[in-house]
Structure 1
Amino acid sequence: MKGQIVHSPAGEEVVLDDVGQTVLLDNPVVRVWDVSLEAGETHPWHLHHNPYVVLSLAGSKARMDWLDGSEPRFLNEYRGGSVYRPLSPVHRLTNIGGRFYQNRLVELKDLGENLPSPVDVGPGDRSVEGERPGPELADGRLPVIDHPHVKVWTVAVDEGRKLDLADLPHVVAALDPGAHGGVSFHPGGPLTLTGPGEWFVLELTYTASSN
């Protein structure tokens, strides 16, 4: 949370930033942020209070540094990829590649801040470029992540495409968002997308247990 004060192992006072730069959508279920980094740019120290899903719009090599001094983690996210992440210690993210980096970071409130204590989601999940966790669906969706808590697909649309979505909440995010962010919340059931374009479709599968 922006403005929260923590201390490094050496006792240095650190003021935390938000987990993203701009809120694109915020409702009782999810909060969706834009995270954009030019080559060499760093998103400052921050702390996640919710498990979250990263939807990658523009990939680059990146380094995650930890305030506690643990060994950094190196990433190479790619356009159309996704990551499902648990809560983690205070960290910052630096774009160490030569390309623009951008994602949609989707906080899952019902697994975090809406509870007395966050759900332990284990290690989460991560897509692998060139590999898919299942076959293409009849409505054209291509699987990216298939986890008991969340499912992520991409879908390309030329003119119009009707998606046969489950009766569960979804987040839909354009891979080429334009000026308005390109993010919407869908309560479930059939959805028609109008192209041309490509979208992420994120199913909040964990909500089935509360229905």
Structure 2
Amino acid sequence: MFGDVVEAPDGSKVTLVDVGSTRLVDNDVVRVWDVTLPPDGTHPWHLHHNPYVVLSVAGSSGRMDWLDGSEPRHVSEYSGGAVFRPISPIHRLTNTGGTRYRNRLIELKDMGENRPGGVVVDVGPGARSVQGETPDLPVPGDGRVPVIGTEYVRVWTVDVAPGQTARLTLDPIGHVLAELDADLEGEDLAASVQLHDGGAHEIPNDTDRARTYFVVALDYLTTHGKDHA
């Protein structure tokens, strides 16, 4: 966790940082971060205690280095894509793509830190969207476009035209909604992420530009929450 001091294989001391740059939401169910890296920027050594979802708002390529000296892992993300990840050993992320990288990272507390004894749910390898490919996921009739589908979480995007309102019919479970906008800052950034209990939900767009939102269904809450451990 943030501030913990660990020892690298060469004997040097490493102080861990938070898993994100700016904390946007922190409640009983999720913790949501903004992660922003300039070209060649690095998010320092950190450790995830919960499985998590990465919503890419400004894509780039990156390199994950592991504190234990394992071979680096090279990744590539695109705007509008998503990744569902298990916990992993201590690592750092470097933006290798030459453009700014930004995401919204959702920690799923009831799959990790909220569980009795902190025993994390084994989600296997997780899932990663592929640009141009549509996952095997039912398409709701409310304008949502599938991004990834797993037994634990499902992710869609939905576009809202200028002056229009998206009217969603969400399953009766928790959802995270996050605007896909790489330029949001301050109060606008904090307000761009919200938790919804499911059911009917409207997203108005009173601006003169199209807006896009991620919609994340927290399916694990019905089978892997703290009341179902």
Note if 1:202 corresponds to 2:216. yes
Rounded Cα–Cα distance in structure 1 between residues aligned with 2:68 and 2:8: 6
Other-structure match for 1:73? 73
1:124 corresponds to:
126
Aligned length: 211
For residues 51-80 of structure 1, give each alpha carbon's deviation from its aligned partner in whole angstroms, at most 9, with x where no partner exists. 000000000111000000000011110000
Deviation at 1:198, TM superposition (A): 0.3
Partner of 1:52: 52
Matched to 2:132, the amino acid is G
TM-score, with length taken from structure 2 = 0.89
Which letter does structure 2 place at the counterpart of 1:146?
G
Quick one: distance in 1 between partners of 2:75 and 2:93?
A: 10
Measure, in 1, the Cα distance between the counterparts of 2:60 and 2:220.
Answer: 30
* Counterpart Cα distance in 1 of 2:108 and 2:26: 11
2:177 is the counterpart of 1:165: no
Matched residues in 2 for 1:56 and 1:175: separation? 8
2:203 matched residue in structure 1: 193
The CA deviation string for residues 120-171 of structure 1, in whole angstroms up to 9 with x for no partner, is 1111111001101146421010000100000000000111011010000000
Output the CA distance in 1 between the equivalents of 2:149 and 2:200: 20
Report how far residue 201 of structure 1 moved. Answer: 0.3
Report the secondary structure of 2:170's partner residue: coil
Q: CA deviation at 1:13?
A: 0.8
Counterpart selection for 2:141 from 133, 138, 143: 138
Q: Say what the alpha-carbon RMSD is for the aligned residues.
A: 1.2
Deviates more, 1:27-36 or 1:181-190: 181-190
Aligned to 1:16: 16
In structure 1, list runs of 5 or more residues that go unmatched.
Answer: none
The one-letter amino acid of 1:170's match is H
Q: CA separation in 2, counterparts of 1:190 and 1:23?
A: 27
Secondary structure class of the residue paired with 1:176: coil
Moved more, 175-184 or 49-58: 175-184
CA distance in 2, matches of 1:113, 1:189: 27
Aligned to 1:149: 152
Structure 1 residue identity aligned to 2:129:
S
Tell me the secondary structure at the aligned position of residue 159 of structure 2: strand
The alignment status of 1:63 with 2:63, answered yes or no, reads: yes
Structure 2: gaps spanning 5 or more residues: none
Runs of 4+ deviating beyond 6 Å: none
Q: Distance in 2 between matches of 1:83 and 1:190?
A: 26
Measured in 2, the distance between the counterparts of 1:156 and 1:136 equals 14
Match of 1:97 in 2: 97
Q: 2 CA distance for matches of 1:85 and 1:77?
A: 13
Q: Residue 131 of structure 1 aligns to a residue in which SS?
A: coil
Alignment partners' CA distance in 1, 2:120 and 2:139:
33
- Displacement of 1:9 in angstroms is 1.2
Cα distance in 1 for residues equivalent to 2:38 and 2:211:
24
- Aligned equivalent of 1:6: 6
